[in-house]
Structure 1
Amino acid sequence: MDGIAGDSSQNVNTHIDWTPQVGLEFNTLGDAWNHWGNYGKQMGYGVRKGFLNKSKLDGKVTTRGFTCCRAGVRGIDKRNHLYTRHRYEVRTNCPVRLHVSLVRETGKYKVYDFVAEHNHILHLEETAYMMRSHRKMSEVQAFEIDLACASGISPKATHALMSIEAGGRANLGYIELDQKNYLRTRRQRNLIYGEASCLLRYFQEKINKNPSFRYAVQLDAEEKITNIFWADARMIVGYVYFGDMMTFVTTFGTNKELKPLAVFTSFNHHRGVVIFGATLLYDETIGSFKWLFENFLDAHTGKKPRSIFTDQDAEMAKALSEVMPETYHRLCTWHIMQNDIKHLGNLMKDDSHFLRDFKSCMFEYDDKSEFEEAWDKMIEKYNVGSVSWLDGIYKLKTKWAKCHMKNAFTLGVRSTQLSESINSDLKAYLKSDLSMMEFFQHFERVVEQKRHKELEAEFHAREKLPTLALKNSPMLKQASHTYTPVIFKKFHDEYDYASVIVIKHRNDSQLVHEYVVGIFDETREYKVLCDHVNKIISCSCRKCETFGILCCHALKIFDLLDIKMIPSTYILKRWTREAKSEYILNTTTMNMENGVNLNVTQRYRRLCPMLVGLATEAADNEDAYAFVEKMVKEM
């Protein structure tokens, strides 16, 4: 394949006789070459350019020869005579040729010699498109291949799709091998200055499109890149709205060099994944983590989350305590369970209930004294008092035990599964041999998928209103119009549970009333304090403080006091339909493309959706179809 052609005649009109004749004139040498190529494709042979003579006076081409691709003979093989893998013979000294000369008076080129008889078998019409000289890939086709590659479509599937779009492989203009060669050449071209230069160029392009894009690169003593952090404009906007809690974990290698990818994530108002930034950490030390967290805060104007969930990395924990001392640092319970199985698997054999008891200590006890009592019983029952790992995890109990988690704003999160879901999506696209640029393309696609999920959730939230169990309840009506559907469902469940809450004890003698409540036929009790004048309420379960919606215990007391609407104090904006109504300055996407100076691919990208829409509309009506077809042929 000769490469990418800006303009080439790939489809020969079989109704035209392209046979040249002596005396035939062409306006330019290009016209003569195209005519020779079309004739060769029509007849079933490949073409080549032959001799060229120029005038010494003005440098113009005076004579030019075009031949069959099998003209001439192969030279002597100068390789070692013991070499056994010889190439196939393709030259047959074919005499077919077309010679043209310059007519000085008119400036045209005239055929003065033409030989049409071949000394070899010609190709079938069905296989003519496979000949090397007739294969050309346009810039637009190359752009479509790039898009398909960036979308995770395999090269084989890409070629099949584009063949169907072109009306068959013969109409495509190139073969699958050409596509493979193009992708390899593109990768080599991208890496000509090394991955570091490609990376910096990628970041600069992002900044040119939107100055709100942020990135940071950390270098080692040898001026080599060790760590990379980046956040685009929409990540920065998302953090403004939903950056009160986030998860962060480094557990996923992006390629064969196992460069660990870490992503800052949280919940949006539909409880979907929202991403605040990402990093490639080559060096997971305290210094690297401090550099990362400082640059993360710098990108997000210094705003710190109220709480953060991570894995059990001691270096990360030390860096967090120094950079974000006010932020509640919590550990992922899933990672703790995995480490529990890894270190204490010998205690889980046969009919042992050690894992069940350990989970109970982690998830069941609201009261600290109950937790301590259960922990001591587990230690004594399994005789594991001297186990170093268990002793170490106990010292970190404030970061994972339920009774201690009541002091943190968690949104119901207990693990880093949000980050893990990003890693899971990336695994479907990433391969071990990806270059840095290809990795970023795939990462962008995964991020875009998450953003599209949020748009889908927003669409359904506006399209459908939730069903109310009690259709006349003012509070449920208010909640259904205030909260997003997924949050309303959780509030609705709490409202339903409130119907089975009983008041076991009450004290109305003080300004702040005290109630002891619990679920009917259950022994567990909760204390609710309520200032009914100012409509201020708090419950010992602390669901409102940790998750952001009122619990069933508080709703029971509100119902007792005839409070029929949710006080605005207890409506957390991040869970509402209007969570993203605030205006954020300097983060809108900027379109830096100039309509006059667009290149081929940019023009194609703009025209494509318009023409596809036109074709869709025209196909529904015979008259419209006939009109569009006529105009296309004229153009």
Structure 2
Amino acid sequence: MENVSMNDVSEPIFGMLFNSEQDAYDYYNSYGWVMGFSVRKHFLNKSKKDKMTITSRGFVYSKAGCWLSDKRDINTANPRAETRTDCQARMNICLVDDGKYKCCDFVKEHNHELHITSTIHMMSSQKNMLDIHRQEIDLTDDSGIRPRSTVELMGRQAGGIKNLSCLTQDVRNYLRTKRQRALTYGEAGNLMKYFVTQTRNNPSFTYSFQLDSEEQITNIFWADPKMIIDYAQFGDVVSFDTTFRTKKECMPFGLFTGFNHHRGCTVFRVDLLYDETVESFEWLFENGITHLGHMMKDGSKFLTDLKKCIYQYDVKDEFKTAWHNLLNEYVVKDMKRGNELKAEFDARNKMPRLANSMSIIQKQVRELYTPRIPECYILKRWTRGARTMVVNDSRGKEVEQDVNLDCTQRYKRICLELIQIASEASNTIEGYNLVKDAANELRLKLGNIRINPIDCPDILIFPDFSDNVYPGLRLKHKEKSTRGGRRLKS
């Protein structure tokens, strides 16, 4: 018998030929979609010569067979419902001489009611999560949308939930599997992978970690571009707090925080410490200070003189002399109070001159709003232009918070145009075929476009993260304590 097209699904008959075992399963599964039953694979026989070639295969309905009696049913409060009815509906295939498979047995009759059209998408064999569905699930999950709302959104886009090939539980299973695969490299490997990925996306991302004698990670710190920009703009007052701790290992979670021009809390840097000892804090401040930029960048003369002033003088008088010399050399001596008093005197001693003759109202306004705060004492961080300053990192390069901003804007504009085109093309078959052909041609042209390194001379190329990156690297764990739930003291 001639080969049957997969688009022409009809009742299988004895002698029907299929190109492969998978084609036979797809055909019988499509037939089950039309009739309203789910399909599962049954027995499998392979060739005795190569132990690889499938010689015969059976496909049955999901209700085929029956469960054996379970002795634990007596003690079960809510036993599971029966799902097997010993249905005999099946289709068996066997290998023929030309390498194709022939339908050698087919039973049509069922001993139960079949599913209706509106519930076919719930059957196990008919569930098939497409790539476009995975992309939408990833996007909604990153946006904080729950699986139930995700399925509702995709159902509306598909014209109804019955037109989807996945359910809410399938979305939850997909997300759980995705998270499990993300932990393939272990906790330390995944952390390093995250750092490498962020550095590849934006070279201004900064991180560092400390290893002990056993090559185990003890202390870590990291700062993304937004943290670096926020510190440059609002880092005049910084608070360091290690109150928070990880739940499992009780490791101190340090935060360098401050306030922005809206009185909102801003994070300047994040640290994960092994303990709160002097050695940990020394590494934290000495290695983490270089990413702050300005005079504190690594290799600067100010940083060298500051370390010399702190570490090389044991006598009190020598330290005070070196400290005053440092303040005078870099003009960072605190003269704010003296200047503030002088400005206060000038504000009360001098009156602002008006262009026109002063009326009674102008005199009253002058007396009411004078003295005023001098502009030299109004910090830029409290003004509307707080975000306008250009920030450079420790390497002297400008820090960009979102390096993909141009790409994101182009994506939004293209999406609006393509959605309008899809809406108009879906009204007619001719429009649909036209857009489909144009999309295929456009996809081929886009595949030939590559980034030219000459056009992007500043782009940094990082090696792909693999199992060979940081081999054997792991976090150093503390021994479990038998004490109560109070905070441990180092």
Q: TM-score under structure 2 normalisation? A: 0.61
The answer to whether the 8 A contact 1:217-1:229 is kept is yes
Q: 1:94 — aligned with what?
A: 87
Q: CA deviation at 1:209?
A: 3.4
Confirm whether residue 115 of structure 1 aligns to residue 107 of structure 2: yes
1-structure distance, mates of 2:348, 2:215: 67
1-structure distance, mates of 2:150, 2:170: 13
Offset from partner CA, 1:280-326 (integer Å, 9 cap, x none) = 45745655444333333222357349xxxxxxxxxxxxxxx99998x
SS in 2 for 1:62: strand
Match among 532, 539, 544 for residue 376 of structure 2: 544
Change (3 A) 1:133 1:223: same
Offset from partner CA, 1:134-166 (integer Å, 9 cap, x none) = 112234433432332222222222222222223
Confirm whether residue 205 of structure 1 aligns to residue 37 of structure 2: no
Q: 1:631 — aligned with what?
A: 434
The answer to whether the 8 A contact 2:43-2:57 is kept is yes
Change (3 A) 1:132 1:408: farther
Q: 2:66 — aligned with what?
A: 73
- Specify the code of the residue in structure 2 equivalent to 1:87: R
Alignment of 1:17-96 (within 5 A): 17-58=9-50, 59-77=52-70, 79=72, 82-96=75-89
Q: CA deviation at 1:171?
A: 2.1
Change (3 A) 1:41 1:505: closer
Change (3 A) 1:608 1:234: closer
Change (3 A) 1:243 1:111: same
The answer to whether the 8 A contact 2:233-2:387 is kept is no
The answer to whether the 8 A contact 1:46-1:131 is kept is yes
The answer to whether the 8 A contact 2:290-2:296 is kept is no
Offset from partner CA, 1:106-125 (integer Å, 9 cap, x none) = x3222222111011121111
SS in 2 for 1:100: strand
Q: 1:580 — aligned with what?
A: 390
Confirm whether residue 247 of structure 1 aligns to residue 238 of structure 2: yes
Alignment of 1:481-492 (within 5 A): none
Confirm whether residue 144 of structure 1 aligns to residue 136 of structure 2: yes
SS in 2 for 1:615: helix
2-structure distance, mates of 1:136, 1:119: 27
Offset from partner CA, 1:305-360 (integer Å, 9 cap, x none) = 9xxxxxxxxxxxxxxx99998xxxxxxxxxxxxxxxxxxxxxxxxxxxxxxxxxxx
1-structure distance, mates of 2:102, 2:93: 5
Confirm whether residue 231 of structure 1 aligns to residue 223 of structure 2: yes
Change (3 A) 1:223 1:86: farther
Alignment of 1:145-184 (within 5 A): 145-184=137-176
2-structure distance, mates of 1:142, 1:208: 24
The answer to whether the 8 A contact 1:212-1:233 is kept is yes
The answer to whether the 8 A contact 1:101-1:110 is kept is yes
Q: 2:357 — aligned with what?
A: none
Change (3 A) 1:293 1:503: same
Q: 1:560 — aligned with what?
A: none
Change (3 A) 1:609 1:74: farther
2-structure distance, mates of 1:236, 1:153: 29
- Specify the code of the residue in structure 2 equivalent to 1:585: K
Confirm whether residue 127 of structure 1 aligns to residue 87 of structure 2: no
SS in 2 for 1:110: strand
1-structure distance, mates of 2:63, 2:263: 66
Change (3 A) 1:249 1:57: same
The answer to whether the 8 A contact 2:61-2:90 is kept is yes
- Specify the code of the residue in structure 1 equivalent to 2:57: R
Offset from partner CA, 1:558-579 (integer Å, 9 cap, x none) = xxxxxxxxxxxxxx9x948963
1-structure distance, mates of 2:121, 2:388: 58
1-structure distance, mates of 2:89, 2:426: 48
1-structure distance, mates of 2:150, 2:257: 33
1-structure distance, mates of 2:157, 2:224: 34
SS in 2 for 1:278: strand
SS in 2 for 1:245: coil
SS in 1 for 2:138: helix
- Specify the code of the residue in structure 1 equivalent to 2:421: A
2-structure distance, mates of 1:505, 1:589: 45
2-structure distance, mates of 1:151, 1:272: 22
- Specify the code of the residue in structure 2 equivalent to 1:242: Q
2-structure distance, mates of 1:62, 1:119: 29
Q: CA deviation at 1:101?
A: 2.1
2-structure distance, mates of 1:292, 1:265: 18
Change (3 A) 1:117 1:274: same
The answer to whether the 8 A contact 1:263-1:277 is kept is yes
Confirm whether residue 618 of structure 1 aligns to residue 430 of structure 2: no
1-structure distance, mates of 2:193, 2:390: 32
Q: 2:316 — aligned with what?
A: none
2-structure distance, mates of 1:115, 1:290: 78
Q: Mark the runs of 5 or more structure 1 residues left unpaired by the alignment.
A: 1-11, 306-320, 326-403, 410-500, 507-517, 527-540, 550-571, 593-604
Q: Mark the runs of 5 or more structure 2 residues left unpaired by the alignment.
A: 1-5, 298-305, 311-333, 340-346, 353-363, 441-490
1-structure distance, mates of 2:258, 2:338: 17
Q: CA deviation at 1:582?
A: 8.0
Offset from partner CA, 1:353-384 (integer Å, 9 cap, x none) = xxxxxxxxxxxxxxxxxxxxxxxxxxxxxxxx
SS in 1 for 2:115: coil
Alignment of 1:359-508 (within 5 A): 406-407=336-337, 503=349
The answer to whether the 8 A contact 2:233-2:386 is kept is no
1-structure distance, mates of 2:296, 2:84: 72
Q: CA deviation at 1:217?
A: 3.0
SS in 2 for 1:303: helix
2-structure distance, mates of 1:408, 1:75: 92
- Specify the code of the residue in structure 1 equivalent to 2:55: T
The answer to whether the 8 A contact 1:95-1:118 is kept is yes
Q: 1:595 — aligned with what?
A: none
1-structure distance, mates of 2:203, 2:392: 21
1-structure distance, mates of 2:136, 2:308: 45
